[in-house]
Amino acid sequence: MKKLNYPFQKEDILDLSVGDMVLISGKLFTGRDAVHKRIHEGTKPPVDLKNQIIYHCGPVILEKKGKYEVKAAGPTTSIREEPYQWEVMRDYGIVGVIGKGGMGPKTLQGCKDYGCVYLHAIGGAAQVLAEKIKSVDNVYWRDLGSPEAIWELTVEDFPCVVTMDAHGNSLHEKVEGESGNALKGLL
Amino acid sequence: MPAKKKAIKKKATKKKVAKKATKKKVAKKKVAKKKVAKKKVAKKAAKKKVAKKATKKKATKKTTKKKVAKKVVKLNTDAELFDSILELIKITSTVIPDDVQKVILESLAREEKNTTAEYAMNIIKSNIEIAKRKIQPLCQDTGTIIFYVDVPKGYIQSDFVKICHKAVVKATKLGYLRQNSVDTLTGKNETMNIGPGHPSIHFHEHNKETIDIRLMLKGGGCENVGAQYAMPYNALEAGRDLKGVRKVILDAVQKAQGKGCGPGVLGVCIGGDRGSGYINSKEQLFRKLDDENKVSELRDLEKDIVETANKLGIGPMGFGGKTTLLGCKIGTLNRLPASYYVSVSYMCWAYRRQGVTLDKSLKIKKWLY
């Protein structure tokens, strides 16, 4: 089990490889479809994303007396951000992406070119992951709707598995290739 | 609805009824007085007329009384139905059904120790425990809300729809459901899960006096990896027979990888048209995981699909591992001679489905899973 602590450093990211189980502590920014589309269309993000991690997540957050309460916060499918993710790495210097389901060749190349890593959270594990969120510190772009807004979160020991590293390796590519070959033999 | 509020509401209705009753009493007295006055004038014809009027009035009074009584009963049953649907949504969103949990724990035991597969299954296990304990959604994507409602003959479906919508809004406000309904053209997500197609409610008339409500919450990730094949499917040389069907189902599993939050369960329909095929494939997901298909060929195919899929090495979340599928349920519909569809719906491990039978007062009598 490896640890990744805030502020995130490039060296720590380069140190990670596919298959590593990692516990993340520090700051995360949620960002999913609408956020990526808006950034892609030319709007600058409302926060400095340099050396930050983006979490593909549309949480259930209730507001009670001006305080935010996280009810559920698991990852959403990442592949939908495949057209945009590498640009956010290039233009805004993020060092990590958390999501589920993995991403494609553009993102893998982006990870290699700009020193970034893809961390797979456990899909559907909204309660385990919500418990790791210690505070909701801010919210941006609320106009996109609650699940699509950018939520600034502080997490502790947030569990992930590295499935795409900064050295061009993808667990998804590997499993897809191997299972494809296995299938041929089983049909 | 909290018990206090309900009590206040009931009291309020009682008061209203009481008020109406006193009004009527006053009216009765007035009529009586009029009768006396008219008697004094004492014309036979007039007497008869008054008598007629009186009986008429009596008759109308009786019907209004009945109407009021009916309204009160309806208000009460509406409140019961609302509470029952809300409870059903709460439990569906937060508690995994026993038959599913059993299979998940079996697959956890099967994974090799200290692998990412075991790590994933352990997190899934604790997620199930926390969601139940905290009464919070298993997954933040509380999915498409799909109701299947079996109703007695003559039941007014629009009554159900109205109350059901109210319960869905309340469940969203309470956080059992995420605000999850997007206007496709504007991209706005402003309603509380109410809109064209949301929630999805299917009615079916049955020969019983009771109402059965089944609910499935199906997340977007697993819905996206569903697939439909028009046979023959030449890319795999899959023909219009069960051998061909087997090929395309396994192809769907391989293409899904871990993207549908595996290990998952397949609902499959062979036949039908494009629409009915997909609907039936979802209906298969209402079957219990440990049930046995009555059609022996399909029973064998279901077993074969699970065993073969688990040899693909896709594993939990697509990390690699022994459990790729937890189950597979297959049904058939008739088809046109020209068509042969295989429709595959994928359900994630966070298999949220529940059901209830209501008693005559529309309270929950029995849980179905």
Instruction: Return the pLDDT at A145.
Output: 85
Is there a contact between B313 and A186 if contact means CB atoms under 8 Å apart?
no
**Please, what is the Cα angle at B169 between B167 and B172, to 5 degrees?**
110
* CB atoms B139 and A79 under 8 Å: no
Residue that wins the pLDDT comparison between B82 and B16? B82
Q: How far apart are CA B308 and CA A109, in angstroms?
A: 34
Residue B280 vs residues B61, B170, B329, B369: alpha-carbon distances, Å: 51, 29, 11, 19
Q: Where are the domains of chain A?
A: 2-186
Identify the residue with better confidence: B325 or B75.
B325
Contact between A57 and B140 using a beta-carbon 8 Å cutoff: yes
Task: Answer yes or no: do A175 and B314 touch at CB < 8 A.
Answer: yes
What is the pLDDT at residue B188?
87
CA distance B358 to B216: 17
Tens of pLDDT, residue by residue over B160-181, are 999 999 999 999 999 999 989 9
Q: Which fold has domain A2-186?
A: fumarase (3.20.130)
Cβ proximity of B338 and B279 under 8 Å? no
- How confident is residue B3, by pLDDT bands cut at 50, 70 and 90? very low
User: Which residues in chain A show pLDDT less than 50?
Assistant: none
Whether B21 has a pLDDT exceeding 70, the answer reads no
Question: Do residue A159 and residue B314 have CB atoms under 8 angstroms apart?
Answer: no
Q: What is the DSSP letter of A41?
A: T
Model confidence band, residue B39 (pLDDT cutoffs 50, 70, 90): low
User: Which of A130, A161, A187 is opposite residue B119, by nearest beta carbon?
Assistant: A161
pLDDT at A87: 97
* Residue spans of beta strands (DSSP E) within B262-351: 264-270, 325-332, 341-347
Q: With an 8 Å Cβ cutoff, is B178 touching chain A?
A: yes
Q: What are phi and psi of A163, to 5 degrees?
A: -115, -10
**C-alpha to C-alpha distances, B195 to A48, B52, B191, B192, B198, nearest whole angstrom:** 37, 53, 7, 9, 5
Q: Looking at the complex, report in whole angstroms how far the Cα of residue B163 sits from the nearest Cα belonging to chain A.
A: 24
CA distance A54 to chain B (A): 17
| pLDDT band, residue B62 (cuts 50/70/90) | low
Which pair of structure tokens corresponds to residue A163? 């499935």
CB neighbour list of residue B71: distance below 8 Å, 6 or more residues apart: none
- Per residue in B97-155, pLDDT tens? 999 999 999 999 999 999 999 999 999 999 999 999 999 999 999 999 999 999 999 99
Q: Which of A41, A64, A122 to mutate to test the interface with B (most CBs of B within 10 A)?
A: A122
Q: Which of B317, B346, B347, B351 to mutate to test the interface with A (most CBs of A within 10 A)?
A: B317
Mean pLDDT, range B258-265, rounded to an integer: 96
- Determine the distance in angstroms separating the CA of A50 from the nearest CA of chain B, rounded to an integer: 28
> What number is the average pLDDT over the span B221-227?
96
In this complex, is the C-beta atom of B360 within 8 Å of any C-beta atom belonging to chain A? Answer: no
Element (H, E) at B125: helix B116-134
CB distance A34 to B117 below 8 Å: no
* Shortest Cα distance, chain A CAs vs residue B8, angstroms: 26
Residue A56 annotated to the active site: no
**Looking at residue B58, what is its pLDDT?**
58
**Chain A / chain B CB contacts < 8 angstroms:** 159
pLDDT at A72: 87
pLDDT at B34 over 60: no
pLDDT at B1: 44
Does the pLDDT value for residue B2 go beyond 60? no
Section B290-301 average pLDDT: 98
Amino acid B64: pLDDT: 67
Identify the residue with better confidence: B23 or A174. Answer: A174
Q: How far is CA B222 from CA B201, B350, B360, in A?
A: 20, 10, 37
